[in-house]
Amino acid sequence: MTERLYYTDARLTHFSAHVLDRANDGLRVYLDRSAFYPTSGGQPHDTGLLGGVEVLDVVDEDDRVAHVMAAPVLSDAVEGEVNWGRRWDFMQQHTGQHLLSAVFADRFGYETVSVHFGPDYATLDLSVDVVPADKLREAILVANTIVTENRAVSVSFEEAASAMGLRKATARDGTLRIVTIADCDRSACGGTHVNATGEIGPILLRRQEKMKKSARIEFLCGMRAVHRATVDYEVLQRLASGLSAAIDELPTLIPAQAEQLKATENARRKLEEEVAGTRARAAWEAATPDANGVRWLVERRSSGKPDDARIMALAFAALPRAAFVSRIADAPGLLFAASADSGLDAGKQLKEALAAAGGRGGGSPRLAQGTTPDARSLDQVLAALGMPVTE
């Protein structure tokens, strides 16, 4: 059995212990006592040194804690050193999660379904489809107010049968480890926590994501929140500077700019379609009908993507008994369009021609595209479509 020192002292980073057992050629070490927190309850494991060797992972094995090492630990009497920066960071995130969960439950009845603590941000899933914006704003204000009140955070050990006022009922029997935020929350938890809410530091909500049956809230606490807020401010400042505006004007200015850009893009596209229509008509009139009365236009391009020719393809195929092919050498690929009265099925015929040349693709009877293994195969496909190959 491993005595878990972090249960009673989350700030303990240096300790002495004896090796009780080893496994996996000495790379898995078991101690009589340990301050290393194993991955549990959504909180990642500690890292650090044990006997001067790097601890890569810490695994909870019921009564024992396994320390996964970078190299074998040879001595039976060892000194352990927990990475304090990582430990403190997760203490802030985990206590901040308890506080947020309590606020969402008490204020709005949103219970926490699950939590996750990652290296960059943490999340909690709430028992609601979507949290309205006004409630998110209220929750973060209330949570940060409790942070500034610096309420005590304490750990107690109580019998499950007599433990009262827990935020979430537990099915466990025997002794429970209970983390209490004064006048706010009581939760059964084995994680590491700060001593007062002021040590959580600022709490920042970043975004909300709709899951299948819950709303996932991304949050950051302490220095994570400070760093993220600083980066966010720098991004906003660059945007504002680029638009010669103040940051507070961005919520109005950016949508207006987006609408203007959309209108400009629509106008550009309309002009492009008009130009394509004029070019298509001129090319159609200059083309000689084949034996089936179909006029062909083949555009040979050295670079680009087949889809680049879509507007011209649609313009040409809108004319009577017309077929259009765009041949891209460096892709290599093809775009094939045919008018409804041409007797051609662009999707079916291109798919068959590509397959015969070792390529792939397809589409609708009027418009299709695909790729070939090499440029030489393009002319093979053109010939299969019924278009004579001339350079």
The dihedrals phi and psi of 300, each to the nearest 5 degrees, come to: -105, 115
- Tell me the pLDDT of the chain averaged across its residues: 93
How far is residue 169's CA from residue 359's CA, in Å, rounded to a whole number?
60
CATH T-level assignment (fold) for domain 88-240: Threonyl-tRNA Synthetase; Chain A, domain 2 (3.30.980)
pLDDT at 388: 52
pTM to 2 decimals? 0.74
Binned at pLDDT 50, 70 and 90, residue 168 comes out as confident
How far is residue 179's CA from residue 156's CA, in Å, rounded to a whole number?
7
DSSP string over 202-268: -EEEEEEEE-SSSEEEEEEETHHHHHHHHHHHHHHHHHHHHTTS-GGGHHHHHHHHHHHHHHHHHHH
> DSSP strand E in 33-174: where?
33-34, 48-50, 53-61, 64-69, 77-82, 112-117, 122-126, 153-159
Q: Could you read off the pLDDT of 3-46 as tens digits, one per residue?
A: 999 999 999 999 999 999 999 999 999 999 999 999 998 899 99
Domains of the chain, residue spans? 3-82, 88-240, 271-385
How far is residue 276's CA from residue 316's CA, in Å, rounded to a whole number?
8
- Give the strands of the sheet with 185-188, arranged side by side: 153-159, 175-181, 185-188
Of 101-105, 248-252, 304-308, 367-371, give the lowest mean pLDDT range: 304-308
Judge if 3-82 and 271-385 fold alike in CATH terms. Answer: no
Binned at pLDDT 50, 70 and 90, residue 300 comes out as confident
Q: Could you read off the pLDDT of 233-274 as tens digits, one per residue?
A: 999 999 999 999 999 999 999 999 999 999 999 999 999 999
User: Per the structure block, which two tokens stand in for 226?
Assistant: 């400070």
3-state secondary structure of 364: coil
Looking at residues 164-176, what average pLDDT do you find? 88
Q: Which residue has the tokens 């492009």?
A: 272
* CATH class for the region spanning 271-385: alpha beta
pLDDT of 389 > 70? The answer is no
Binned at pLDDT 50, 70 and 90, residue 170 comes out as confident
Q: Could you read off the pLDDT of 92-135 as tens digits, one per residue?
A: 999 999 999 999 999 999 999 999 999 999 999 999 999 999 99
Instruction: Kindly give the pairing relationship between strand 367-371 and strand 360-363.
Output: antiparallel
Q: What CATH number matches the domain at 3-82, 2.60.40.10, 2.40.30.130, 3.40.50.2300, 2.40.480.10? A: 2.40.30.130
**Positive or negative CA dihedral for 147, 151, 154, 160?**
negative
